Structure 1
Amino acid sequence: MVFPVRPARRLFRILGHGVRGVALIVTIGWGILALHFELPGAHGVMISTQAVWCLIGGIALLAPLWQRARPHLALAARCSFVIALVAIVAWWQGLMPRNDRDWAPDVARQLSYERNGNQVTLHNVRDFEWQTPDIAIPRWETREYDLSQLDSVDMIVSYWMGPAIAHTLVSFGFDDGRHLTFSVEIRRESDETFSISGGFFKQFEVNLIAADENDILRLRSNVRGEDVYLYNVGLSPEARRELFLAYLDEADDLRANPEFYNTLTSNCTTIVFDMVDKIVPGLPKDIRLILSGYLPAYVYDVDGLDTQLPLETLRQRGYINPRAQAVPYDAGSEAFSRAIRDGVPKAQTKEAEPTT
């Protein structure tokens, strides 16, 4: 069917106006949120700046209505919006992550280490005794580990907001029964609380926490009441070692080059994937790397778990809450770590690929 030329042009013009209008509304919304989360100073200053931005954006949005009658006024409205947008983008690009803020106590320190062959000494290992989700007896420790005694790697997935959203942690076990957990977390300031939307708008930096399981896992299963699942991951001894060292490298990098947390692109799952991808190249990209609640299914599909059992069986046996909540707190004890692994299937250890 052939449309008449004029109606077709009118249709395309209407569609073009619609697309530009939607793009303008999205841009205005982005500016409102960026100012809300990151504009320094008093609350009134932020509200006033948002109001001016909305006024300029609203006038630009209405500019096509008087394009024919008052073209100069419409052009002035568009130019004003472009100038305001350039100013906001320039301010936004100038926001830089830092390591010298007034941090919340649980993320106040950064992991550092020394290494001599297989012997590593870690500083600022967290071992808090949590009383409530917000109150803890703080302890930061120095610990020594022998990489030749690395015995296991476990993936822990803690669900705190529905089936699609979870926090991912990785725990390393040693021959002597000790476990050390790494967690990529938001680095909040002392007056901040976690916000998913704030994670899109440079509200938080990233911190890599190394912690005792009596702290970081008990906090989630026993204190916050999140649903926590533990899965044993089948990595070769060489891959375990490389992954542990990759975490130490990440800690070094974050101390030297602070980063902003991003809910989609730089979070607890994507950063871990980037490290693992260097050790096990060729891993497929997948939406489950963002919807981290489904991460166990992804790891199962790439043969990282015990595939001789159904994933649902691994999930049921890996649910640690009842076992975790039955163990009284005992600082320095491995009883908690032993209890949460009771009945968890061990994945078959993958042999290292031969080098050529």
Structure 2
Amino acid sequence: MDVNLGWLLITCLMYLVASILVLWIAGAIFFDVGRATWFGGVLAAIWVVCAIVAFLSWQPAWKPFVLILVLSGFFLRWWFFQKPSQHREWDPNFSQLARVSLQGDEITVENVRNTEYRSARDFDTRFETRSYRLSQLIGVDAILLQWGSTLMCHPMFVFDFGSSGRLCISIEVRYRVGQKYSLIRSLYRQQELMYVVSDERDAILRRSKCLEGHDLYLYRLASDALTDHEFFFEYVNAINSLAENPRWYHGLTTNCTTSIYAQGRGRMEWDWRMLFNGSLDRFMYDRQLLDQELPFESLKKQSWINGIANSAPVDNFGDYLRRELTGYRTSVDHELAETGKREEYLT
């Protein structure tokens, strides 16, 4: 290779690496140093301008590049030592962390959220302690929320304990007062991770009733009893661990889907749709985790729950939802027939 061409490639690589570092640190200065204020914006702008001036005025390029690396190293050392906390001014709906205990066959879950929503800003926040029988875990449902980009969705899982009731678990940002979801913000140390444990009516109506453009789909997972129990206890371990040791939420590496993979890494095979999860339901269908009797598009169309959920009664909300939902009833008919629980389920 020609020496000049080789040096040109190296120089381009240095500029690329430096640009990535400078822009990322600018974001960290804005969010983590300046707390997303105008002052943080000024500091970030000064950092970017200084980096540009250094490269324009100091030659050869490797000299400002080394300076950027050294300064970045010092900054990252500080950044990585920031610690997540359980003590913030939390949004009321995210103020209480769940805990799960098991005594024999009885599961006790503290701080199950059961908020009553009249609108996105008008609601009564409630947290309850609920009990379930582990021996009555008869299945798991997936609720997928889609909005905006087709590249992303939000998965939630509902554990069906039969006559004991249902429990919904959703991995989310633990919002502070006034915070909203921001992918860019989530790349910095601005938001903690939370396992929201709630009544499924809360989890569904919070989105279907209060947020425009949010579509929810309910699917029954085609899994056996052993897998359901393993999946549930993966969540239990994560919930109890998080109650003791807070963690940062990260929009790419520690989010609603990658956290599921991390807690079940021993039995899950990685797939790119876990990162760009907008087609997560298609991924589960391809892995035969959803009903195979219908083509995927038909199953998805029949699994949309917004209209049914918004008109469902408060009492027996979940049973009504599943009786009215064509796609769900199709997916569980054979399972119920085989277990002899069809009549119990439909009454």
Q: Normalising by structure 2, what TM-score?
A: 0.88
Q: 2: distance between equivalents of 1:42 and 1:208?
A: 25
Q: Counterpart in 2 of 1:258? A: 246
Equivalent residue for 2:311, pick from 326, 334, 348: 326
Asked if 1:216 is matched to 2:203, the reply is yes
- 1:334 maps to a residue whose letter is N
* 1:171 counterpart SS class: strand
* 2:45 counterpart SS class: helix
- 1:339 maps to a residue whose letter is L
- Kept after mapping to 1: 8 A contact 2:169/2:195: yes
Residues 217-270 of structure 1: CA deviation (Å, up to 9, x unaligned): 111122214110011001211221222222111111111221111111111111
- Kept after mapping to 1: 8 A contact 2:146/2:216: yes
For structure 1, the residue ranges without an aligned partner over 5 or more in a row are: 352-356
Number of matched residues? 331
Asked if 1:18 is matched to 2:16, the reply is no
Cα deviation, residue 162, structure 1: 2.5
Asked if 1:61 is matched to 2:55, the reply is yes
Q: Counterpart in 2 of 1:354? A: none
* 1:261 counterpart SS class: coil
Equivalent residue for 2:221, pick from 211, 217, 233: 233
Asked if 1:122 is matched to 2:116, the reply is no
Q: 1: distance between equivalents of 2:8 and 2:180?
A: 44
Q: 1: distance between equivalents of 2:19 and 2:100?
A: 48
- Kept after mapping to 2: 8 A contact 1:320/1:340: no
Q: 1: distance between equivalents of 2:80 and 2:260?
A: 26
Cα deviation, residue 83, structure 1: 4.1
After superposition, the Cα gap between the structure-2 partners of 1:210 and 1:19, relative to the gap in structure 1 and judged at 3 Å, is: same
Q: Counterpart in 1 of 2:24? A: 30
Q: 1: distance between equivalents of 2:331 and 2:38?
A: 57
Cα deviation, residue 322, structure 1: 1.8
Q: 1: distance between equivalents of 2:65 and 2:197?
A: 51
Cα deviation, residue 28, structure 1: 0.7
Q: Counterpart in 2 of 1:335? A: 317
Cα deviation, residue 275, structure 1: 3.3
Larger radius of gyration: 1
Q: 2: distance between equivalents of 1:276 and 1:337?
A: 29
- 1:302 maps to a residue whose letter is R
- Kept after mapping to 1: 8 A contact 2:261/2:270: no
Mapping 1:300-311, distance limit 5 Å: 300-311=285-296
- 1:133 maps to a residue whose letter is A
Residues 15-64 of structure 1: CA deviation (Å, up to 9, x unaligned): 22112112111111001111111115693542343233223311332256
Cα deviation, residue 277, structure 1: 4.2
- Kept after mapping to 1: 8 A contact 2:18/2:68: no
After superposition, the Cα gap between the structure-2 partners of 1:337 and 1:53, relative to the gap in structure 1 and judged at 3 Å, is: farther
Q: Counterpart in 1 of 2:178? A: 191
- Kept after mapping to 2: 8 A contact 1:157/1:293: no
Query: How well do the aligned residues superpose, as a CA RMSD in angstroms?
Result: 2.3
- 1:188 maps to a residue whose letter is Y
Q: Counterpart in 2 of 1:103? A: 90
Mapping 1:33-182, distance limit 5 Å: 33-40=27-34, 43-63=37-57, 66-67=59-60, 75=63, 77-78=64-65, 80-176=67-163, 178-182=165-169
Cα deviation, residue 135, structure 1: 3.2
Q: Counterpart in 1 of 2:284? A: 299
- 1:107 maps to a residue whose letter is F
Residues 79-109 of structure 1: CA deviation (Å, up to 9, x unaligned): 6434432332122111111111111111111
Q: 1: distance between equivalents of 2:66 and 2:309?
A: 61
Residues 178-219 of structure 1: CA deviation (Å, up to 9, x unaligned): 221000010111132211111111221100111111211111
* 1:251 counterpart SS class: helix
Residues 287-321 of structure 1: CA deviation (Å, up to 9, x unaligned): 11112220111111111111232111210111111
Q: 1: distance between equivalents of 2:220 and 2:164?
A: 15
* 1:318 counterpart SS class: coil
- Kept after mapping to 2: 8 A contact 1:63/1:78: no
- Kept after mapping to 2: 8 A contact 1:53/1:84: no
Cα deviation, residue 146, structure 1: 0.4
Q: 2: distance between equivalents of 1:87 and 1:102?
A: 30
Asked if 1:289 is matched to 2:247, the reply is no
Residues 90-149 of structure 1: CA deviation (Å, up to 9, x unaligned): 221111111111111111110012211220111100000112223320110010100111
